[in-house]
Structure 1
């Protein structure tokens, strides 16, 4: 993994180069254009201000920032591979600004793969999408790329992600800014997101900063921070979600939470209150000690979870704020049809383990999965080559 000093130097270099890339006219690849398409083997870099197509089955390099501006669409066809260059001293990431779109549509057997030639966690900066849907902080600026996000259009459409795998992301721009697999900033529910995988990143798999985007058939494998993370009022739905953390003995590192969920860290009651609705979850952790949390609900978040299996952490479910627990006690939030391998931990003692069981949930200390393949065997929607 690249050292922090190297990363900070790379960030300074990337900032110094941004003037030149932003002044270019559709500086979207080296190797020439084929209509509105980029030739096979070209290097993607700079900014696009009109539609660009990456043709089916082609392979591309990514060098530095690749920014989709307002009014432009990045179209990525089935079977495309994009490989971040790991030794070019430039920070690599894809950023879709408000009003821009990414239409990345693969298939189960011909997925779109975004990876790095280094093949190690933290090698590149992942995908960042900025929309115009509501957050509970009003408008904000993305952690990566300093792009605006948020607004009042909950139906905003930032495009389509389907059968996309993001590998080895999580680049640390500085100690406070690490890149996830895919980050959704105020993304609206006009956006389509399904059959996506985040694989072996060094930060979160999928993170949501507010917005209303809905997701389905999503997989996170061995991302060292949280598998799923939300804050700033995310209110979408999530159906058929898997998180699997390979055992530390073979993976080489611990992973953090399966879900880490906040409303907003500086104001637990900020509105709109985070309240996603999640159905059909299989979450398997790789840390069974007391301080390892599975589903961590805190800082005022609400949630509805209907159907989940959670195991492999010291605490399968942890509640960490009065606001979060009160919403469960009142029935505003719901945890139901869940099977977990340990007692619910209530830090405030408002919504207790006894209430959790009374709601129809079950504790089964023998619940375990001995491999990722065992999870795939339960989920026919994971068939094909798109899941690694």
Structure 2
């Protein structure tokens, strides 16, 4: 019996030790752990228009928005915010109906369902005509239609919200019966506050449907200020605008603000004798306190930008496929302009000869060599300063015909042009008459061309009238001017962007190592605080300032929604 008890005690001890061993043993480690899986569980909402935000729920997303790549129907979207289980994105322009794809943490997932791009309804329209004696605000949820000449009179203000569309009608829609095309004209002491954004530019365009728009469908945009001009006080405003010059001397006048604005298909013929046309943007006596930057004028049936006197200062201008001149100045304009690019469609132009720059000093009916206009309203000469401009025409060796010169200077003008590029014009610089022949403007320094590159020109420099070709060439190539002539055979050395002259998708930022990235002149009139100091020649260095807010295919753009 005692033996049996010993055996039982031994068995109990052994069982206790076994249980203790099992209790102390660690859980086994899984030899093949499963990685986190990127997946999409839902899209909210599953139907939304371009530009709206939607949420994508799922797993294994990156918390860094830039580390997630999301496409809708194959088009990449912008990520607004990110967490491991939720992404908020903006429906991108060009998105098509289709699945949503997310790539995060090295994995790609696709939604089981299809996202649908909603088509917004048509915006309501509102006709505007005549003169409105009230402050107004035009909102982006309404399309405004200009019928005839629409005036903002003295002491009133028009404010336009970002993203607003304004359409101009043709002369047949003039309610007065006078055959004036639709135009917006801001008179002296009135103001236009049109502040768009890079993502919501303000657009002035044709009232015609997409696919039917053309050069000169409507009038254009006009600002009038109280800054000096060099015309008689009884002289009528140009191109059918009502009123006379009168006499003002307020160089720091303020006509408002234009930022991130597009003006398309302007330049219709005015019912004047002789026939005339407004430019896309016309500035008459506009003062230096007016803010104008990031403005594109496309398919103008006349000039793109036109200055009639004044002291206005502008930056970041894009003239695209103009019919006549890109940059036209006269009536004693003495303002400053920096960063401008123009791209021509060489199949379209004015039979009289289109130019990129056309700088005058007197009425077009007056002769080339005339005495200076009496300074009734201040300045006697057109003497603006342009810096960092690029003007592009022909890609191959240019021809004569619809085109004249990249820079056409005449009638005793005293312009200064610095650090600029003229490419592909039959004539690079055309110096006519008293502009240089008298030597007075050169001696005084009021006419100053420095850091200018003429490339791919049939004839780089031309002199005419009292200015001989030899004088013109000697002036342009003179020591200390840092001007350059690049033959057609050598244009590849400039290392321009390969899409520089591609009308459908132009690109202007220079290639790495381009000689245009250096060599800019300094000092002289560039010492004015308005000018941004840069090292490059032409309109572009490494910053693509036309990106996002411009449009080179307005013909296909649906502005009704």
Work out which of the residue numbers 123, 127, 139 in structure 2 matches 1:55. 139
The residue that corresponds to 1:123 in the other structure is 217
Alpha carbons of 1:329 and 1:384: their partners in 2 closer, same or farther (altered >3 Å)? Answer: same
Matched, 1:256 2:354: yes
Q: Deviation per CA, 1:181-219, whole angstroms, max 9, x where unpaired?
A: 011111111111111111101111111111111111011
1:173 is matched with: 270
Between the aligned partners of 1:154 and 1:40, the Cα distance in structure 2 is 40
* Counterpart residue number, 2:428: 316
| C-alpha distance in 1 between matches for 2:547 and 2:296 | 13
Q: Does 1:384 align with 2:480?
A: no
Q: Name whichever of 232-241 and 49-58 sits farther off.
A: 49-58
Return 220-229 or 327-336, whichever deviates more: 327-336
Alpha-carbon distance in structure 2 between the residues aligned to 1:268 and 1:125: 34
Distance 1:354 1:191, change over 3 A: same
Per-residue deviation, 1:173: 1.3
Q: Is the 8 A contact 1:284 1:312 kept in 2?
A: yes
CA contact (8 A) 2:269 2:277 kept: yes
Q: 1:310 to 1:198 in 2, by over 3 A?
A: same
Q: Which residue of 2 aligns with 1:135?
A: 229
1:223 corresponds to: 322
Where do residues 59-78 of structure 1 align in structure 2 (5 Å cutoff)? Answer: 59-78=143-162
Q: Distance in 2 between matches of 1:263 and 1:101?
A: 27
Inter-CA distance 275–167: structure 2 relative to 1 (3 Å threshold): same
* Aligned-residue offset at 1:164: 1.0
- Once the two structures are TM-superposed, the CA of residue 79 in structure 1 deviates from its matched residue by 0.4
SS of the residue 1:229 aligns to: strand
Deviation string, structure 1 residues 326-381 (Cα, Å, up to 9, x no partner): 24532332111111023211221274313312322111123484325454334421
What's the offset of the Cα at 1:82? 0.7
Using the alignment, how far apart are the partners of 1:319 and 1:252 within structure 2? 21
Between the aligned partners of 1:113 and 1:138, the Cα distance in structure 2 is 35
- 2:194 alignment partner, one of 81, 97, 104: 104
1:346 maps onto 2:463 in alignment = yes
Aligned equivalents of 2:404 and 2:477: distance in 1?
A: 21
Q: How many residues align?
A: 348
Question: Which residue among 370, 393, 400 is the counterpart of 1:289?
Answer: 400
Residue 41 (str. 1) matches residue 41 (str. 2): no
Q: State the secondary structure of the residue aligned to 2:446.
A: coil
Shift of 1:322: 2.0
Any residues of structure 2 matched to 1:180-329 within 5 Å, and which? Answer: 180-248=279-347, 256-265=354-363, 266=366, 267=370, 269-270=372-373, 271=375, 272=379, 273-286=381-394, 288-289=399-400, 292-325=404-437, 326-327=439-440, 329=442
Change (3 A) 1:313 1:203: same
Question: In structure 1, how many angstroms separate the alpha carbons of the residues matched to 2:477 and 2:328?
Answer: 25
Task: Report the Cα distance in structure 2 between the residues aligned to 1:309 and 1:220, rounded to whole angstroms.
Answer: 15
Question: More strand per residue: 1 or 2?
Answer: 1
* Contact persistence 1:268–1:301 (CA under 8 A): no
- Scaled by the length of structure 1, the TM-score of the pair is 0.83
CA distance in 2, matches of 1:370, 1:307: 20
Cα distance, 1:109 vs structure 2: 1.6
Distance between the aligned counterparts of 1:189 and 1:51, measured in 2?
A: 23
- Partner of residue 147, structure 1: 243
Aligned residue for 2:474, secondary structure, equals helix
In the alignment, what sits opposite 1:4?
Answer: none
Cα gap change, 1:327 to 1:109, in 2 (>3 Å) = farther
Question: Which piece of structure 1 moves more, 145-154 or 159-168?
Answer: 145-154
**1:80 paired residue number:** 164
**Cα–Cα, structure 1 residues 132 and 77, in superposed 2: closer, same or farther, change >3 Å?**
same
Q: 1:113 aligns with which of 192, 203, 218?
A: 203
Secondary structure of 1:241 counterpart:
strand
What CA deviation, in whole Å up to 9, does each residue of 1:252-277 have, x standing for no partner? 88771101111113455224111111
Aligned to 1:36: none
Change (3 A) 1:79 1:310: same
**Does the Cα contact within 8 Å between 2:387 and 2:417 map onto a contact in 1?**
yes
Taking a change above 3 Å as real, the CA distance of residues 293 and 112 of structure 1, as seen in their structure-2 partners, is same
Does the 8 A contact of 1:282 with 1:375 survive in 2? Answer: no
Residues 51 and 40 (structure 1), Cα distance of their counterparts in 2 relative to 1, 3 Å cut? farther
Instruction: For structure 2, list consecutive stretches of 5 or more residues without a partner in the other structure.
Output: 1-122, 175-180, 511-539, 553-561
SS at match of 1:313: coil
